[in-house]
Amino acid sequence: MTERIVTANIGLTLDGRYNGPGGPTDAAAIARYATTDVARDHLTRLWENATTAVLGRRNAEGFLAYWPTVAQDDTADPRDRAYAKWLVDTDKVVLSTTVTDAPWERTRMVHAPAADVVTELKATGTGEILVNSSPTVIKDLLAADLIDRLYLLICPEIAGGGQRLFDDGLPDSRWTITHHEVGELGEIALTYDRVR
């Protein structure tokens, strides 16, 4: 049996930030690019082989408030609807130190370090493990060198403040680009695979 690969997706500004100076909910510099054709096709690529979604608690709560309605919306873009249905129907692992009750069906709440949880997931089951737009989890897994593929949507704005994904102190690593596409607004969808 082949060990499962761990993928992660996130949108970033040109200055490497996943939120703006307004804090964790300031996604203005990224949100406007999420509905382009390039972004929607990128979204499809990142979940199509995944059988498990790993989320941080804050992201899981935000997703719960939005994606199930998209799954039921006949007027939604078919790519958004397909992703929403996948997210609702797939196995989810939510990392939290504060919440113990699972907010969704097919969801397991876990209070453990991300690296331990993902190492356990890699040893069981099949299909890719997608760390789904959860920056604190992605940071922990980058620090542990457990991410095999990065899906990045680079948005052509400088936020000038906010949190960065790539903090100092990460272990050295090399990546090779396996897909890239530029959208009409200047957004770039990138897929990088870890060279091991």
Helix (H, G, I), strand (E, B) or coil at 63: helix
Q: Mapped to the 3 state alphabet, what secondary structure does 137-169 carry?
A: HHHHHHHCCCCCEEEEEEECCCCCCCCECCCCC
Q: Among candidates 141, 142, 152, 145, which has minimal Cα distance to 177?
A: 152
Helix (H, G, I), strand (E, B) or coil at 103: coil
Both structure tokens of 111:
């209070």
Does this model's pTM top 0.85? My answer is yes
Amino acid sitting at position 30: I
Both structure tokens of 68:
């199930």
Q: Using DSSP, how many helices (H) and how many strands (E) does the chain show?
A: 6, 8
DSSP designation for 73: -
pLDDT at 2: 60
Q: Which CATH architecture group holds 6-195?
A: 3-Layer(aba) Sandwich (3.40)
Intervals of the chain under pLDDT 70: 1-2
pLDDT at 101: 86
